[in-house]
């Protein structure tokens, strides 16, 4: 028996309705799944979409004399040879390289998730590329290819302050260049340490004083580079955040390095603030003067205490001179100078953020120390500091 046209039409209509119903169910399921996706999952998904949209290399140079491309950078680093690595941080490897123009640069190859997305990365790099200050490492450009992100900086001859404090040599081998950097010799004189801290303070004051201030968020010895004259250059803006008119930036991620982070971070606050940078700077002041890592415990009266607690106790007991790195000759120290230095460090590391001075004031305090360091005696020094 042949099927009638009515039966055929009814079968087709039933199939269409069933198909449409299943399609609607599928769309509803996808909508519900997207709605219940966690912020972290959504962020990861957006990041992947962002990266997948990059089909060609993109590069930018902030120095007209430099040509920057992925091919150029691969050639300069010998395809990122381990032999050219001069640094290894939480955000990626740093290579020393010579470009075809003859310029020696530092190239940082970032970890894939160091920045959330392509647009955010480009915007922040273009902003940082405009910074020009003698105590800020100059960014020369960047290059992006797929998930690869590379930053190109000026090469600073002596490497990090951390290396100069803890990994220097006094042997004859120090006369030869090693690891791509100029050699340093122990000890760093007290005057040199003052110069370094003065430079870091000037760089931070510049960042904080911009019309749209920049918070570094990770001030530490490893992020301060020293040139051939031991002038300080603040580096590694991987955690840097720009802020608007307020003094904080809302963040859901823990930022900074253990030992340098202010007490408000330990108490659960995660907002980036200018005063958090001031605290980290104060910790760095203690570290540079004492030659001791801030994340290691100190022993006081047979008990282990943190560096900042130890330092405050000795300052209260007027034992400033005992705090200075034992490798520094006491003949070059003036007690009033040392006391003023540690007074500034204590101000910067106040428990309450409101009590910490702005970096512009810190610069003034350190300038006074450096300007009157050649006084004949402590009484004359103290008189000039108080003027």
Q: Are residues 376 and 264 in the same domain?
A: yes
Q: Kindly state whether residue 218 falls inside one of the protein's structural domains.
A: yes
247 and 126 part of one domain: no
Joined together, the tokens standing for residue 220 give 């530490």
**23 occurs within a structural domain:** no
Domain for residue 220, yes or no?
Answer: yes
Q: Domain with 213 in it: what CATH number? A: 1.10.510.10
Same domain, 214 and 351: yes
The predicted structure's pLDDT at residue 301? 79
CB atoms under 10 Å from CB of 29, counted, come to 10
- Contact, 219 vs 359, CB < 8 A? no
- 336/366 Cα distance (integer angstroms): 13
Token reading at 81: 């040879």
Residues placed in the known binding site for ATP:
109
Give how many domains the chain has, as a whole number.
2
Instruction: Indicate whether 140 and 232 sit together in one domain.
Output: no
Average pLDDT of every residue of the chain: 79
Please give the model's pTM, rounded to 2 decimal places.
Answer: 0.77
For residues 126 and 212, membership in a common domain is answered with no
For residue 19, tell me if it sits in a domain: no
Highest mean pLDDT among 12-16, 63-67, 263-267: 63-67
Q: Quick one: pLDDT at residue 348?
A: 97
Of the chain, the percentage scoring pLDDT greater than 70 comes to 68
Q: How far is CA 179 from CA 183, 189, 293, in A?
A: 9, 23, 22
Tell me the C-alpha distance between 263 and 266, whole Å.
Answer: 5
The per-residue pLDDT for 173 is 45
What pLDDT, in 10s, does the model give residues 104-115?
Answer: 999 988 877 655
Instruction: For residues 151 and 59, give the distance between their C-alpha atoms in angstroms, rounded to a whole number.
Output: 10
Residues 110-139 have pLDDT tens digits of: 877 655 566 667 777 877 888 999 999 999
Residue 254 reports pLDDT greater than 50: no
Residues 209 and 330 in one domain: yes
175: annotated active-site residue: no
Write out the DSSP string of 214-259: EE-S--SGGGEEE-TT--EEE---TT-EE--SSSEE--SS--S-TT
User: Where does residue 151 fall: left (phi above 0), alpha (psi -120 to 50 degrees), or beta otherwise?
Assistant: beta
Contact indicator for 345, 287 with CB cutoff of 8 Å: no
Residue that has been written with the tokens 């990090």 in this structure: 160
Residue after which a domain boundary falls, among 134, 155, 176: 155
The residue-averaged pLDDT of 6-30 equals 66
pLDDT of res. 297: 83
Region 254-264: mean pLDDT is 73
Kindly state whether residues 352 and 297 are assigned to the same domain.
Answer: yes
- Decide which of 102, 134, 155 is a domain's last residue: 155
Does residue 262 share a domain with residue 141?
no
- Give the CATH number for residue 95: 3.30.200.20
Work out the pLDDT band at 16, boundaries 50, 70, 90: low
Give the pLDDT band (50/70/90) at residue 44.
very low
Question: Residue 253: which residues within 8 A CB-CB, separation 6 or more?
Answer: 270
- What are the tokens at 22? 């299943």
Last residue of a domain, one of 108, 137, 155: 155
Interatomic CA distance for residues 236 and 112, integer angstroms? 16
pLDDT of residue 126: 77
The residue that leads in pLDDT, 260 or 347, is 347
Q: Are residues 196 and 269 in the same domain?
A: yes
CB atoms closer than 10 angstroms to residue 71: 12
DSSP-assigned letters across all residues of 286-325: HHHHHT--TTS-EEETTEEE-HHHHHHHHHHTT-HHHHS-
Highest mean pLDDT among 24-33, 193-202, 228-237, 324-333: 193-202
Give the residue-averaged pLDDT of 178-200.
82
Structural domain boundaries enclosing 74: 58-155
Mean of the pLDDT values across residues 216-237?
Answer: 91
- For residue 199 the two structure tokens come to 């430079």
Structure tokens that stand for 332 in this block: 């070059």
CA atoms of 325 and 113, how far apart (whole Å): 39
**Does the pLDDT at position 190 exceed 90?**
yes
Identify the pLDDT of residue 233: 97
Question: Each residue of 272-297: pLDDT tens digit?
Answer: 789 999 999 999 999 999 999 998 88
Q: Are residue 87 and residue 138 in the same domain, yes or no? A: yes
Tell the residue number behind the tokens 């979409």, with chain if given: 49
With cut-offs at 50, 70 and 90, classify the pLDDT of residue 147. Answer: confident
Instruction: Name the binding residues.
Output: 109
Q: How far apart are CA 77 and CA 196, in angstroms?
A: 30
Tell how many helices (H) and how many strands (E) occur in the chain.
13, 14
| The pLDDT value given to residue 316 | 92
If asked whether residues 195 and 87 sit together in one domain, one would say no
Catalytic residue among 218, 227, 236, 277: 218
């Amino acid at each position: 028996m042949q099927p009638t046209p009515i039966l055929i039409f009814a079968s087709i209509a039933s199939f269409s309705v069933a198909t449409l119903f299943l399609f609607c169910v599928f769309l509803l399921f996808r909508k519900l799944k997207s709605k219940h996706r966690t912020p972290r999952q959504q962020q990861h998904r957006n990041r992947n979409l962002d990266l997948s949209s990059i089909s060609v290399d993109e590069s930018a140079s902030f120095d007209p004399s430099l040509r920057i491309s992925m091919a150029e950078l691969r050639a300069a680093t010998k395809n990122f040879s381990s032999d050219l690595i001069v640094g290894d941080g939480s955000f990626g490897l740093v290579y020393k390289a010579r470009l075809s123009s003859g310029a020696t640069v530092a190239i940082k190859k970032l970890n894939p998730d160091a920045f959330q997305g392509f647009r955010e990365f480009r915007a922040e790099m273009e902003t940082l590329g405009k910074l020009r200050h003698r105590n800020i490492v100059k960014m020369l450009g960047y290059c992006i290819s797929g998930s690869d992100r590379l930053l190109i900086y000026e090469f600073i001859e002596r490497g990090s302050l951390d290396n100069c404090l803890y990994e220097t040599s006094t042997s004859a081998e120090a006369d030869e260049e090693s690891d791509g950097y100029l050699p340093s010799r122990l000890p760093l004189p007290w005057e040199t340490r003052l110069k370094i801290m003065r430079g870091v303070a000037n760089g931070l004051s510049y960042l904080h004083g911009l019309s749209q201030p920049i918070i570094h968020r990770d001030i530490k010895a490893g992020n301060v580079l020293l040139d051939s004259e031991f002038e300080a250059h603040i580096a590694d803006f991987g955690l840097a955040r720009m802020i608007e008119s307020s003094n904080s930036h809302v963040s859901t991620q823990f930022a900074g390095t253990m030992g340098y982070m202010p007490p408000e971070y330990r108490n659960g606050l995660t907002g980036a603030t200018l005063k958090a940078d001031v605290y980290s700077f104060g910790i760095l002041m203690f570290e540079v003067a004492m030659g001791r890592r801030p994340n290691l415990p100190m022993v006081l009266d047979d008990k282990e205490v943190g560096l900042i607690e130890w330092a405050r106790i000795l300052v209260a007991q007027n034992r400033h001179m005992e705090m200075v790195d034992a490798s520094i000759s006491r003949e070059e120290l003036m007690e009033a100078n040392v006391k003023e230095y540690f007074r500034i460090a204590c101000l910067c590391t106040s428990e309450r953020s409101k009590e910490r001075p702005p970096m512009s004031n810190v610069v003034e305090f350190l300038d006074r120390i450096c300007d009157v360091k050649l006084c004949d005696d402590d009484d004359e020094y103290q008189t000039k500091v108080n003027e």
